[in-house]
């Protein structure tokens, strides 16, 4: 009988491997279209699953556990919505925000041992070049500024290339979260990359960070880049000496000068943007507000008040909370108190914090469901007695760090595109963890088995 590792080495990258990664790495461009595509992919995987016999052990237990954890997240908040939402319309709005988690849970539940054969290197390479495509399209739209109308907007206004860049995500903050996370994941399998691949992944990471600062101006994702950089230095540190030895001095200076040149180009393109004291100054002032007593921007004080009111509201209904669509309703009485010294305008639909969103929406049980979701992939790998490689650790840590830290000031999982994005990344991290030691050959075979 052939050794399992030798059998796995014969696995090839198929169309389905390309599709499952492109659904994630192209989400900054195609936006909500990726949700439709993952639904179609899930139907395809379910159909393939029904063709095999479970008795043969074709369903992979780790994937099954991950799928169950995602589906439990959806079931809890769906049942919670049945009990707490006022009408079917509100229930529909609640459910549609977390439906991607259900779909990806079903996808994981029905994934078989040989359904996907992608690994970390393939994921990192595809991520790198998808980001180059994203920024190339943004620059092309910026330079050409095509005037034809698409869905009621020009491409320039749709992608917001003359303001805070958002491409197909419809929200600059969401775009920033996605590209910074993907930028750091482009370093995956750094040791196995060629010299050219290492350079391209490092350059695209720099482009992502500079874009968020100069062209997107999202404070939260930019600050999250700092701990992600620390994690990345830990990850590539064993390979720094080899990388330096591979680098010709002339090439090194070319890269350094090119990087400085590109930085100045970004500054030049945004000079008017900077000099007019608009979004970039707002970002800088927002950062200053975090560690200063002065209110350089109103966003931080408003969010702090939101969080204080949320904790007060939680004390009244700590077990099951108020319901997803009643987060703002829960804090409104505290904001409208006659002697309230800090009344604010409650024009939000969430509390700008993933943890408070879940606590107010679903109570302590909703928070526990969130924790189970966040650490499900680690639990699954440990439960399967799998050895976690350095690449797997890096993948998981980057995804969870980005999710949890960006979640300190953003909605994350209770948003259709972000719930899709992070759920798919968690799912892909488990796939790559399973396949990271198996080299693969490129193929255009359409069959899964």
- For the stretch 87-120, pLDDT in tens is 888 888 888 888 999 999 999 888 877 778 888 8
In the predicted model, residues of the chain with pLDDT beneath 70 are: 1-11, 50-60, 151, 241-256, 259, 262-300, 337-347, 384-386, 436-449
**Residue 413 three-state SS:** helix
Q: Check: CB of residue 123 under 8 Å from CB of residue 21.
A: yes
Give one word for 33, left, alpha or beta, with left for phi > 0 and alpha for psi -120 to 50. Answer: alpha
Q: What pLDDT does residue 248 have?
A: 60
Q: Looking at residue 7, what is its pLDDT? A: 37
Identify the three-state secondary structure at position 150. strand
Supply φ then ψ for residue 442, to 5 degrees. Answer: -70, 135
Give pLDDT tens digits for 31-50: 888 888 888 888 888 877 76
Residue 47's pLDDT is what? 78
Q: Where are the domains of the chain?
A: 15-247+375-442
Per-residue confidence (pLDDT) for residue 364, from 0 to 100: 92
What mean pLDDT value characterizes the chain?
78
Task: Please state, as a whole number, how many other Cβ atoms lie within 10 Å of the Cβ of residue 47.
Answer: 11
Q: Are 194 and 200 in contact (CB under 8 A)?
A: no
What pLDDT sits at residue 246?
Answer: 61
Using an 8 Å Cβ cutoff, are 363 and 321 in contact? Answer: yes
Q: Could you count the other beta carbons within 10 Å of the beta carbon of residue 448?
A: 20
At residue 443, the pLDDT reads 41
pLDDT more than 90, % of the chain: 19
């Amino acid at each position: 009988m052939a050794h399992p590792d030798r059998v796995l080495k014969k696995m090839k990258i198929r169309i389905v491997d390309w599709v499952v990664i492109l659904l994630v790495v192209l989400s900054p461009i195609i936006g909500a279209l990726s949700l439709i595509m993952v639904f179609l992919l899930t139907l395809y995987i379910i159909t393939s699953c029904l063709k095999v016999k479970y008795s043969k052990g074709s369903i992979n237990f780790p994937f099954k556990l991950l799928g169950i954890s995602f589906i439990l997240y959806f079931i809890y908040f769906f049942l919670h919505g049945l009990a707490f939402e006022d009408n079917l319309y509100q229930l529909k709005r609640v459910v549609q925000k977390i439906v991607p988690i259900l779909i990806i849970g079903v996808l994981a539940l029905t994934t078989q041992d040989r359904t996907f054969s992608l690994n970390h290197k393939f994921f990192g390479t595809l991520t790198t070049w998808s980001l180059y495509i994203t920024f190339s399209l943004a620059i092309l739209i910026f330079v050409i500024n095509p005037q034809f109308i698409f869905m009621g907007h020009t491409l320039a206004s749709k992608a917001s290339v003359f303001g805070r860049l958002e491409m197909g995500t419809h929200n600059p903050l969401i775009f920033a979260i996605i590209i910074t996370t993907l930028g750091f994941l482009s370093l995956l399998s750094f040791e196995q990359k060629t010299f050219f691949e290492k350079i391209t992944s490092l350059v695209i990471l720099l482009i992502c960070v500079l874009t968020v600062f100069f062209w997107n101006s999202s404070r939260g994702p930019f600050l999250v880049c700092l701990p992600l950089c620390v994690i990345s230095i830990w990850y590539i540190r064993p390979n720094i000496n080899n990388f330096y030895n591979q680098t010709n001095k002339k090439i090194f200076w070319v890269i350094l000068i090119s990087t400085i040149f590109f930085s100045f180009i970004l500054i030049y393109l945004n000079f008017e943007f900077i000099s007019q004291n608009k979004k970039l100054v707002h970002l800088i002032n927002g950062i200053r507000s975090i560690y200063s007593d002065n209110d350089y921007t109103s966003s931080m004080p408003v969010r702090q008040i939101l969080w204080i009111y949320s904790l007060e509201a939680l004390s009244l209904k700590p077990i099951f909370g108020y319901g997803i669509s009643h987060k703002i309703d829960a804090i409104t009485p505290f904001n409208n108190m006659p002697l309230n010294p800090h009344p604010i305008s409650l024009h939000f639909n969430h509390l700008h914090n993933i943890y408070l969103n879940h606590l107010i929406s679903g109570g302590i049980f909703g928070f526990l469901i969130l924790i189970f979701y966040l650490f499900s992939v680690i639990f699954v790998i440990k439960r399967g007695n799998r050895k976690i490689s350095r690449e797997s650790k890096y993948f998981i840590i980057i995804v969870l760090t980005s999710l949890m830290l960006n979640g300190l000031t953003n909605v994350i999982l209770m948003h259709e595109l972000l719930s899709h994005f992070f759920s798919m990344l968690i799912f892909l991290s488990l796939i790559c963890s399973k396949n990271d030691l198996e080299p693969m050959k490129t193929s255009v075979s359409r069959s899964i088995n």
